[in-house]
Amino acid sequence: MNTHDYILTLSCPDRVGIVHRVTGWLLEREGNIIDAQQFGDTGTQRFFLRVHFSLPRSTEVAELQRQFQPLAEDFGMDARIHDARRKARLLILVSRQGHCLNDLLFRTHSGQLPVEIAAIVSNHPDYASLAGSYQVPFFHLPVTPETRAEQERRILDLVEAERVDLVVLARYMQILSQNLCQALSGRAINIHHSFLPSFKGARPYHQAHARGVKIIGATAHYVTADLDEGPIIEQDIERVDHSMSAEELAQVGSDVESLVLARAVRRHVEHRILLNGQRTVVFK
């Protein structure tokens, strides 16, 4: 029998009966729970739930959302239902460091990452040929202080025209305006090394090498108007030692950044992330 998969995510004030009502709603529709994860935060008194379920008949997501709305209102839920088999569409922003871009392109092309890359935007022309080798549209949009507003408008036009679900800043070395951050709220992810705020600016790995650091790492987070302070999605570290050159530290850092960003993108497109104030609940 053919079934149709969906994912329900929700958060609401914690109280008795939430799971009972949700599973009852699924039972009424002959739904089968494939996977369910939940978390109750005793600090914020909020409850978080992700349910991957199947139905015997295909139903439009908008219709399922409409049917679920009365239950959501009863519990004050922020609830979303997603088509589990629909691949999210990505817009990747990149500057002159291409390791994260290359990694995302390969993972997508090889089927490791369940997404479609709608387009790549860069303020430099460097990776046009790389994009072309994967048959992904490439847009060179230079930016200066005088042209920033127009350049960001063109980015938003692309987001709308290409029905983009997630914008990924794959080492995009431009600070987004507050307007663009607000327009992309909850659907833009950034990656950076985890030296912040110790080693800011250019050549952070060389700064770290000069200080003799023993651990380097990377952080992926949602983009907000507060620079590099959005809710954290994923982090990782690697140990380094005195025998390594600054260039070797940078290589290790590139590998960690690529891995952490890919994990964060996967968590987002699989609808495993729920906001909990300035923090995230990330279901495995």
Tens digits of residue pLDDT in 244-263: 999 999 899 999 999 999 99
Question: Which tens digit of pLDDT belongs to each residue from 125-151?
Answer: 999 999 999 999 999 999 999 999 999
Q: How far apart are CA 97 and CA 130, in angstroms?
A: 13
Question: Which tens digit of pLDDT belongs to each residue from 70-111?
Answer: 999 999 999 999 999 999 999 999 999 999 999 999 999 999
* pLDDT value at 232 more than 90: yes
Q: Give percent of the chain above pLDDT 90.
A: 87
Q: How far apart are CA 264 and CA 170, in angstroms?
A: 12
Helices (H) and strands (E) in the chain, counts: 8, 13
Q: What pLDDT is recorded for position 197? A: 52
Q: What pLDDT is recorded for position 206? A: 83
Q: What pLDDT is recorded for position 227? A: 79
Mean pLDDT score, 8-34: 97
Q: How far apart are CA 221 and CA 235, in angstroms?
A: 9
Mean pLDDT score, 201-212: 81
Mean pLDDT score, 156-168: 97
Known active-site residue 78: no
Packing angle of the helix pair 204-211, 246-269 (nearest 10 deg): 120
Q: What pLDDT is recorded for position 6? A: 98
Strands 215-222 and 232-239: what pairing?
Answer: antiparallel
Mapped onto helix, strand or coil, the DSSP state of residue 254 is: helix
When the pLDDT of each residue in the chain is averaged and rounded to a whole number, the result is: 94
Contact status, residue 194 vs residue 160, Cβ threshold 8 Å: no
Mean pLDDT score, 24-36: 97
pLDDT band at 207 (very low <50, low <70, confident <90, very high): confident
Kindly name the residue from 228, 236, 241, 255 that is annotated as catalytic. 228
Q: How far apart are CA 225 and CA 198, in angstroms?
A: 20
Mapped onto helix, strand or coil, the DSSP state of residue 40 is: strand
pLDDT band at 49 (very low <50, low <70, confident <90, very high): very high
pLDDT band at 22 (very low <50, low <70, confident <90, very high): very high
Q: What pLDDT is recorded for position 201? A: 66
pLDDT band at 228 (very low <50, low <70, confident <90, very high): confident
Q: What pLDDT is recorded for position 50? A: 98
pTM score of the predicted model: 0.93
* pLDDT value at 195 more than 80: no
